[in-house]
Chains A and B, each alone.
Chain A
Amino acid sequence: MKLVLREALLTFQRAPLLSALSVTTIAFSLFVVGLFGLVAVNLQQALSEVAERVEIVAYLLPGTPVETVTMAVKDIEAFPEVQSATYVTEDRALARARAELVEFRDVLQELERNPLPASLEVKLKPGFRDADHVNDVADRLRGFGFVDDVRFGRDWVEKLDRLRQLAAAVGLVVGAAFAVVAIIIIGTTIRMAVLQRSREIAIMRLVGATDGFIRRPFLLQGAIKGMLGGLVAVGLSFAAYTLINRWLFHAAFFSREQASAIVAFGTLIGFFGSSASVGRHLRRV
C-alpha cells in the first residue's frame, strides 16, 4: 500500500506539468458543472421563496365563537400538510387593512361597522406547496361548518407548479449533459496520463508486474487528481458566487453536502476514468 501511494505521488513529482494540466482540466470541467449547479441551487431557492407565499385563507361566518375557532385551529394544525394556521379576528383584519391600505385610510377611519370577516390563514409545509395539496387542504377547510369561503391563488399555484417542473426537467437534462461532457474530458485527460507512461507500463510488465500492481497507482492517482480538481472547482464556484453576490444580486452557495458531492463526483470520475483507461491500455499491450 505504501508503495502504491509512493508511486502515485511520485507521478506528480515526475510529470508536474501534465499532472497540473490534468487537475486544471478536471477542475474546469467540474467548474462548469458547478456553475450550472449554482444556477440550479439559486433557482430552487427562488422558487421555494415564492412557494412560501402559498397560503390558503378560509373566511369565517360572522359570529363564530372564538372557542370553536381555537379548537379548529388545533385540528387544522394537525393536518400533515399544514405548517401553521393563524386565526385573524375581524378587529385584526381591520387594523391590518388600515396599516397596509394607506390610500383607503380615510374610508376605513369613517366606518361605523367593521365589514371585514374573521379568517384562518393556513400555510403549508415546504413539500406540500403544490396545486394538488393546496386543493386538497382547501377542500377539507370547506368542510368546517363555520367556514364561509376558501380562497387561494389557484392559477398562481398552478403556474408555480409548471415552473417547478420545467426547472427540474431542464436541470436534469442540462446537468446530465454537462456531467457527461465533464466525464469525457476528464477521461481523455487521464488517458493522456496513461499514454505518457506507456513505456513505463511496458517495462513493468516485462519485469513481471501483475496487472493489478500496475493499475493501483493509476487508480489512486486518478482519484487524487479528481479530488484536487473537485476542490479547485468548488473554489472557483465560490469565487464566481462571491463576484455575483457583490456585483449582481444576492445569491446562494452550495450547502456543505452539495460542495462535498462535487468533490466526490470528481474523485469518482478520476478513479473510474483511470480504471477504464488503464484497463483498456493493459488489454491492448
Chain B
Amino acid sequence: MIKFTGVFKAFPKSGLALKDVSFHIAKGEFAFLTGHSGAGKSTVLRLIYAEEPVTSGEVRVSGFNVAEISRRDIPKLRRRLGIVFQDFRLLEDRIAEENVAFALEVTGARRAGIAARVMRVLTQVGLAAKAKAYPRELSGGEQQRVAIARALVNEPTVLLADEPTGNLDERATRGVFQLLRDINASGTAVVMATHDLDLVRQAPYRVIELQEGALVYDSGVDEPRDQAAST
C-alpha cells in the first residue's frame, strides 16, 4: 500500500529532512507518525501525496512509483488518497456540502450522483444537519469533520492526516480521532501524523517515530511501543 525504501529528502536551504527512511504500511492499517515538530512527519506525508519530489530512494503508494511519478499522474494518485490538515483547508466562500462536492467535481464525477454521495459522507462524519453552513459558522471540530468528509468522498484507499487534531480542544480531538478509527474500521488505511502522545497511547495502533529525519522506532517491526512512547 505505502512503501518507503531507503528514502532521503533534502531541501535546498534546510538540508536533509529525511534520512534513509524505510517502512511499509499495509492495506487497511492504522499507523501513527510521531515525533517532535521538524522531525519529518509532514515531509513523509508530502512525499506520499507527491507534493515534494523524492531526493533518493523509493516511494510506492497504491501502485504508483511516486519517486518517478509524472506531473500528469499526480492527480490520479491523489484521487486514491484522502488528505486532512491541521488547518482544515476548506474554501471559506462555499458551504460545507459544496466543499465536499468540490472534491468530486474536480475528478469529473457524474453530476447526478454527487449530491447523494456528499450527503452520505456528511452523515458519516455526523454533519448532515450542517450541510448548508459556511466554514466560519462551524466550530473547529466541525470544520475538521467537513475536511474529513471531503477526503472520504472519493472513497480513498488511504487517509493521510497531518496533525488533524492540532487545532482542536480535547473534546473535539476525541471526536475526530474516533471518526478516524471508524473510518479505519471500515477498511480505509489511515496514516496520522501527530505529536499528541496521549492520543497515541489510547489506541493499539502501529507507531512510527521520527527524530531529526531518521526513523528511530517502528512498533510494526521493533519491540513493544512503551519504550518509544516514554522517550
Q: Which A residues are within 8 Å of any B CB, using their own CB?
A: 3, 14, 199-200, 202-211, 213
Contact = CB atoms under 8 A, between A and B. Distances in A.
A211 B89 contact: no
B78 interface: yes
- The 10 A-B pairs with the shortest beta carbon distances in the complex, nearest first, are A209-B106, A208-B79, A208-B78, A207-B103, A208-B75, A210-B75, A14-B93, A203-B89, A206-B83, A204-B106
A3 B98 CA distance: 13
B153 to A, nearest CB: 9
A200 B93 CA distance: 10
A53 to B, nearest CB: 64
A208 B76 contact: yes
B30 interface: no
Contacts, number: 47
The interface centre, meaning the residue of B49, B71, B75, B79 with most chain A CB atoms within 10 A of its CB, is B75
Chain B, interface size: which category?
Answer: 20 to 34
B204 to A, nearest CB: 30
Of the candidates B71, B79, B106, the one having the most CB atoms from chain A within 10 angstroms of its own CB is B106
20 contacts: A3-B105, A200-B91, A202-B89, A203-B91, A204-B102, A204-B106, A205-B74, A206-B78, A206-B89, A207-B78, A207-B79, A207-B102, A207-B103, A208-B107, A209-B106, A209-B107, A210-B75, A211-B71, A213-B106, A213-B108
Contacts of B90: 203
A205 B107 CA distance: 10
Contacts of A14: 93
Interface in B173-220: none
B106 A208 contact: yes
Contacts of B89: 199, 202-203, 206
Interface in B44-78: 49, 71-72, 74-78
Contacts of A208: 75-79, 103, 106-107, 154
A209 B76 CA distance: 9
Given A203-B102, A206-B49, 12 more contacts: A3-B105, A3-B111, A14-B93, A199-B89, A203-B90, A205-B74, A205-B78, A207-B79, A207-B103, A208-B78, A208-B107, A209-B106
B150 interface: yes
A213 B75 CA distance: 11
